[in-house]
């Protein structure tokens, strides 16, 4: 079992989305928000007890990387979206292009990662 961290959870979230070929992206004003898998799904994927991941979600909320939306689930904040999109761009660009297409992926990367 790998040590848990915020980075491990973000990477697991991306890998789950790629595995399931499903990424939920919401556009809110000038922000992009990405739906995180449930804490139970992440725990199952990482093969750890559910209660192991909960403190990391509290940390991620405190660091303003994610927010919980009632009846919606866990969504990235602008800061969390930048982190997730950078991870997608750096580690999984081929897979992302296959799922959402290179044009859309590049637009999301540009909107999230480039200043201005």
Contact 12, 1 (CB under 8 A): no
Write down the H helix ranges in 1-116. Answer: 6-20, 39-46, 50-62, 78-91, 93-100, 102-113
* Domain boundaries, position 21: 6-113
Asked whether residue 49 is domain-assigned, the answer is yes
Asked whether residue 56 is domain-assigned, the answer is yes
pTM of the model: 0.91
Asked whether residue 65 is domain-assigned, the answer is yes
Nearest residue to 35 via CA among 6, 59, 60, 14: 14
* Residue 111 pLDDT exceeds 80: yes
CATH at residue 84: 1.10.10
What's the structural domain count of the chain?
1
Asked whether residue 1 is domain-assigned, the answer is no
**pLDDT, tens only, 54-107:** 999 999 999 999 998 888 889 999 999 999 999 999 999 999 999 999 999 999
- What is the rounded distance in angstroms from the CA atom of residue 107 to the CA atom of residue 25? 13
């Amino acid at each position: 079992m790998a040590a848990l961290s915020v980075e491990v959870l973000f990477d697991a979230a991306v890998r789950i989305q790629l595995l399931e070929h499903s990424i939920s992206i919401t556009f809110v004003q000038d922000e992009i928000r990405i739906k995180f898998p449930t804490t139970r799904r992440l725990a199952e994927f990482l093969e750890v007890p559910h209660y192991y991941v909960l403190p990391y979600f509290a940390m991620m909320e405190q660091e303003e990387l994610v927010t919980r939306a009632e009846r919606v689930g866990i969504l990235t904040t602008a800061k969390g979206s930048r982190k997730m999109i950078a991870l997608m761009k750096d580690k999984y660009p081929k897979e992302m292009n296959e799922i959402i297409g290179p044009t859309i992926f590049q637009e999301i990367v540009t909107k999230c990662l480039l200043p201005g």
